[in-house]
Amino acid sequence: MTFHKAFLPSLLAVLLVASLAGCAPTRSGDVYRRGETLRAQSVEMGVVDGIRWVRIEGGQSGVGTIGGAALGGIAGSTIGGGSRANAAGAVAGAIVGGVLGTAIERDAARTQGMEVTVKLDSGRTIAVVQDGGELLRPGDRVRVLSDGSTTRVSR
């Protein structure tokens, strides 16, 4: 089996898309995105009442689909000897690449999370879903921080 130079750009692009897909932001109680800094947050104290492990699935940005289709189209266009065969290969490659790119992006955005139920000192009970980055257990004394759109639980 020989390595064909035409596949090198496709291989590099697939590796780039796969590495970028792994850069999904963490949503745990101890990680802040840049846009969440320098904002006042309300703080309530409480006790963890329960933990339930959940799966968090990210939204599809379309990068995987578009990138996969482009790479598949490029790779598919190298198949065949004539212009019709190249065009058919490009179309087939784009379809297969788009499907694979969508699957890769979906799987890369999937993370393990936890639903944290907190009994607040005020008597209210709330549940917050966040990444499982900070290990919390029932009975832990925690802070619940909220800026009106994002709520997180941390020690």
Are 63 and 16 found together in one domain? yes
Are 116 and 150 found together in one domain? yes
**Count of CB atoms situated within 10 Å of the CB of 119:** 14
Are 123 and 152 found together in one domain? yes
State the residue range of the domain holding 85: 1-25+59-108
Are 101 and 128 found together in one domain? no
Alpha-carbon distances, residue 127 vs 8, 29, 50, 51, 102 (angstroms):
48, 13, 9, 9, 31
And the tokens for 49?
Answer: 């009442």
- Domain at 117, CATH number: 2.40.50.100
Are 65 and 96 found together in one domain? yes
> Which residues are CB-neighbours of 79 under 8 A, at least 6 positions away?
85, 86, 89, 93
Contact 95, 69 (CB under 8 A): yes
pLDDT reported for residue 91? 76
pLDDT averaged over consecutive 10-residue blocks of the chain (155 residues)? 50 51 53 74 95 81 74 73 71 77 63 92 96 88 93 92
pLDDT reported for residue 21? 46
Q: Reduce the secondary structure of 111-143 to three states and give it as a string.
A: EEEEEEEEEECCCCEEEEEEECCCCCCCCCEEE
Burial 123-137 (b: 16+ CB within 10 A, else e): eeebebebbbbbebe
